[in-house]
Structure 1
């Protein structure tokens, strides 16, 4: 049994995680501990506070008791808002607190893009434009070029969590451009797991979504590779060997 641990802020789309656990169809357990969200706002100061090391450390004990072999901070904006170096320090603090390998959804996107060979991507973000810009900056620091970006301008995770396939597909289509190798939907408050096959079918390219890449990142940290076609190209492709 491989036990994966996740720190998820508040309550919005956390039901994606047990759904992923079912779709993995193997000896993998997904444990989620909820952290205090503070102010629910896609605003830089609120997002910075959301990912404070002390706040994350308070959630780690439950994952330790559950026997998690790795811990991932399941919040994209609560990582990239700190910038490349700040997000690295956040993950280092989390690893020290957990006593296990650790990462975050922000880094998961960079690693997942490399996995599917996507050097140029389109970003379909629920965030306001300034927050989306910080995400594209983060991707650039990770050598992933955002050739297009679309912002829905939603302020709260609670509202994002109400979106269904129609809204998600519309945003992804608006963001996509022919030169993008993949489309990224970066908000962990967005329910996307059930919609991955439809998204990839309509867009004709890999689609990377926040909760999907977060679980993939945890598996990567434990050296596990699982073939799960229902979770999209990320879980079916062979690793890309860069020239």
Structure 2
């Protein structure tokens, strides 16, 4: 049994993790520990505080006791708002505190885009425009080309957590672009695990979502590779959706 640890801010879409654990069906346990979200606001200062070392360190001991082999800070905005170098510092501090390989959802997106063979991406975000632009800048620092940014202008994770299938599909459609080889939905407060195959069928290209890439990143850190088509082309050995040039 491979145990993987996730530090998840507050309570919004954490039920995606037991759902994905069932979909993986490969001797993997996904252990979620909730961190104090502080002020629930998609605002730059609040997001920086949400990912502060003290808030992350508070959940580390519980993950260690769970036997986790790797830990991922399961938050996109609470990492990319620090910028490329700041996000690296955050992960290094987390790895030191946990004594485990560590990463964050922001880096998970950068790695997952390469995994599906894409370079040009479209961002379909729930965030306000200023936060969305920070994510696009992070992706560019990772060497990716952002061909479109769609900002949903939602102010809190709590509101995002109430979205269902219709809202998720509408966001992805609105954020897609003909030149994009993959579409990214960067918010771990968004329920997406149940919709990944439908999203990719609808758009005809890989769709990468925050909780999906977070779990994939933890598996990567633990050197596990599992085939789970229900979780989209990222989790298939042979992509079910071919990237278009």
Q: Could you report, residue by residue, the CA deviation over 1:107-141 in whole angstroms, capped at 9, with x for unpaired residues? A: 00000000001100010000000000000000000
TM-score when scaled to structure 1? 0.97
Unaligned runs of 5+ in 1: none
Count of residues in correspondence between the two structures: 239
Provide the C-alpha distance between the structure 2 equivalents of 1:190 and 1:95, rounded to a whole number of angstroms. 26
Provide the C-alpha distance between the structure 2 equivalents of 1:168 and 1:20, rounded to a whole number of angstroms. 17
Paired residues for 1:133-212 under 5 Å: 133-212=133-212
Provide the C-alpha distance between the structure 1 equivalents of 2:141 and 2:237, rounded to a whole number of angstroms. 25
Could you say what the CA RMSD is over the residues aligned between the two structures, in angstroms?
Answer: 0.8
Paired residues for 1:72-151 under 5 Å: 72-151=72-151
1:231 aligns with 2:211: no
Contact map agreement 1:158 1:189 (CA 8 A) in 2? yes
Contact map agreement 1:124 1:172 (CA 8 A) in 2? yes
Distance apart, 1:145 and its partner CA: 1.1
Q: Counterpart of 2:37 in 1: which secondary structure?
A: coil
Q: Could you report, residue by residue, the CA deviation over 1:186-242 in whole angstroms, capped at 9, with x for unpaired residues? A: 000000000101101100000000000000000000110000000000001449xxx
Q: Could you report, residue by residue, the CA deviation over 1:123-169 in whole angstroms, capped at 9, with x for unpaired residues? A: 00000000000000000000111100101100000000011111111
Q: Counterpart of 2:39 in 1: which secondary structure?
A: coil
Provide the C-alpha distance between the structure 2 equivalents of 1:144 and 1:233, rounded to a whole number of angstroms. 19
TM-score when scaled to structure 2? 0.96
Paired residues for 1:216-227 under 5 Å: 216-227=216-227
Q: Which runs of 4+ in 1 moved over 4 A?
A: none
Structure 2 partner of 1:19: 19
Q: Counterpart of 2:143 in 1: which secondary structure?
A: coil
